[in-house]
Amino acid sequence: MISRREFTALSAFGAMTSFMAPLAFADAPTKKRLIFINLKGAMDGLHALAPYADSDYRKLRPTLGLGFPGTDKGVLDLDGSFGLHPALTAFQSLYRSKELLFVPAVSTQYRRRSHFEAQNMLEGGGASPYQQKTGWLNRAIQQMGASPNRIGLSLGPTLPLIMQGQADVRTWSDSRLPEAGEDFLNRVSGLYDNDPILHKAFKQAYETETDPDSMKNMRLGNGRLELSMTAALSILKEKNAPRIAVIESGGWDTHFAQERRLGKLFRELGNSLALIKSELGPVWQDTVVMIVSEFGRTAAENGSNGTDHGTGGLAIMAGGNIKGGKIRGTWPGLSASALFSERDLAPSNQLEGLFMSTLVHHIGLTENQVADHVFPSINNIKMMEDLYH
């Protein structure tokens, strides 16, 4: 029992129950969807999409190099010169139905080889590491209309930089802890008024749509992409679902035993992509899936059947509205003189150019909005044209 005096003290904190009421979700400003898959640790693009017919490739990768099509563990051929890792069958079929394209030799503005600086630039969208304090997708969401809150979705207990910023983002993570209960939350709501960080997080955590019942059995696992994707998709299938989702996947830093490890990861990645298409049904027509990584890996294999940090990587885009079935951008080749710093696939294509194209041609922002508000510190973005129908 609380005494009358104490009750008055409690009520002094104002709207004790109103914070529990879900916010009405304003109509989303677009029906278009973007699912951004961040492969953390630097995916070896040359092991996903291999220039298998190139003799330089064979020289650089005597052990790791993928075989010719039709041979044991050979590539899935795409066009007679490039082929996919055999675990990427899901990519091959979407490529054939012209719903998936590749941009190899792609990179942000970053030219050194630290994961953490590179990830910061990939997610912050700055011209140098740690220049931007918020994420470029959050800044893009803020440009999307009058009510930018809860257009973004992120999984896991913490928010990745790419989704940090002014726009509130819907979040979900699994928990086996018992719920705190309404009475307790009412009391807690009075605690955070003078602490901006905790106050904002608390408001967002509880002023929210309730998660669908299906989420109760969902687990995030240890960063396993298929589990996260299954969880994300059950939210993305809701009626007024978030429009822009970020999903992270780890384990791509393959300094050793690359073939065994990437085989598993590629299979998960392919399955996840297939899952998106089948689960979203007709919404697939309005969806683009963007798969990127902070940088590529060395063109040559290292001493432990792996590869070290490199520069030019690989971006993959898929969706119903993509002009797929193509390998886009400039291919610099793997000859000794073509390599960047005599070791990496050259960064011939600009990752920010793909981002800009997606925000303009898919999401519907203007070029000026993107240049001035999403990537204000990068002044030489060349938008890659003709990616969308």
Partner 1 sequence: MRMLPSRVLIATNRFGLGANSFDVLKAQSNPKKWLHDQISSTKIEPEIPSKLPSSDQILLESYLSRGIKDEDKKQDIRKIRRKQFYGALSARLKNQIKTEHPFAERLVMFWSNHFTVSRTRGIIGPAIPAYENEAIRPHIFGPFEDMLLSVVQHPCMLIYLDNISSIGPNSLQGKRRGKDLNENLAREILELHTIGAQGGYTQADVTNFAKIITGWTVARKRKNARRQKTPPGNFMFNNRVHEPGEQILLGQTFRQNGQAQGIEALKHISRHPSTAKFIATKLVRHFVNDNPPAQAVEKIERVFKSTNGNLAKVSHALIDLDEAWDDTGTKVKSPEELVISTLRALYDDGLTALPPRRFLFPALKTMGQDIFHAPSPAGWPDEAEKWISPESLKHRIEWVRAISQYSSLSSQPLDVFANTIAPFTTDDIQKLIKGAPSREDGLALIFASPAFQRR
Contact positions vs partner 1 (CB under 8 A): 1-3, 6-7, 9-10, 12-13, 40-41, 62, 112-117, 129, 156-159, 164, 171-181, 183-185, 187-188, 190-195, 197-198, 201-202, 204-206, 208, 222-223, 250-251, 253, 255-256, 300-304, 306, 308-309, 341
Q: Which is nearer to partner 1, 99 or 168 (CB)?
A: 168
Burial string for 269-298 (b: 16+ CB within 10 Å, else e) reads: bbbbbebbbebbeebbebbbbbbbbbbbbb
**Least distance CB 146 / partner 1 (angstroms):** 22
**Least distance CB 183 / partner 1 (angstroms):** 7
Quickly count: other Cβ atoms within 10 Å of residue 73's Cβ: 11
Q: Which is nearer to partner 1, 33 or 113 (CB)?
A: 113
**Least distance CB 173 / partner 1 (angstroms):** 5
Q: Which is nearer to partner 1, 38 or 358 (CB)?
A: 38
- Minimal CA–CA distance to 293: which of 96, 146, 102? 102
**Least distance CB 1 / partner 1 (angstroms):** 7
**Least distance CB 152 / partner 1 (angstroms):** 12
Q: Which is nearer to partner 1, 99 or 308 (CB)?
A: 308
The amino acid present at 43, given as its one-letter code, is M
Burial string for 249-258 (b: 16+ CB within 10 Å, else e) reads: bebbbbbeeb
Q: Which is nearer to partner 1, 68 or 256 (CB)?
A: 256
**Least distance CB 71 / partner 1 (angstroms):** 22
* Residues 92, 48 contacting (CB under 8 angstroms): no
DSSP string, 171-224: EE----SPP--HHHHHHHTTT-TT-HHHHHHHHHHHSSPPPPGGGGG---TTT-
**Least distance CB 258 / partner 1 (angstroms):** 11
Q: Which is nearer to partner 1, 64 or 316 (CB)?
A: 64
Tracing tokens 């503005």 back to the chain, one arrives at: 109
Per-residue three-class SS string for 139-154: HHHHCCCCCCCCCEEE
**Least distance CB 62 / partner 1 (angstroms):** 8
Q: Which is nearer to partner 1, 177 or 380 (CB)?
A: 177
Q: Which is nearer to partner 1, 121 or 288 (CB)?
A: 121
* Residues 217, 241 contacting (CB under 8 angstroms): no
Whole-angstrom distance, CA of residue 194 vs CA of residue 202: 12
**Least distance CB 187 / partner 1 (angstroms):** 6
Which residue(s) pair with 35 in the sheet?
245, 289
Q: Which is nearer to partner 1, 208 or 321 (CB)?
A: 208
Whole-angstrom distance, CA of residue 383 vs CA of residue 387: 10
> Which H or E run includes 313?
strand 313-319
- Minimal CA–CA distance to 185: which of 166, 205, 163? 205
Burial string for 300-329 (b: 16+ CB within 10 Å, else e) reads: bbeeebbbbbbbbbbbbbbbbbbebebbbb
CA 337, 340, 344, 348 dihedral sign is negative
**Least distance CB 130 / partner 1 (angstroms):** 9
Paired sense of beta strands 83-84 and 76-77, if any: antiparallel
**Least distance CB 27 / partner 1 (angstroms):** 22
Q: Which is nearer to partner 1, 212 or 330 (CB)?
A: 212
Whole-angstrom distance, CA of residue 158 vs CA of residue 224: 16
Q: Which is nearer to partner 1, 203 or 323 (CB)?
A: 203
Structure tokens at 196: 């901006």
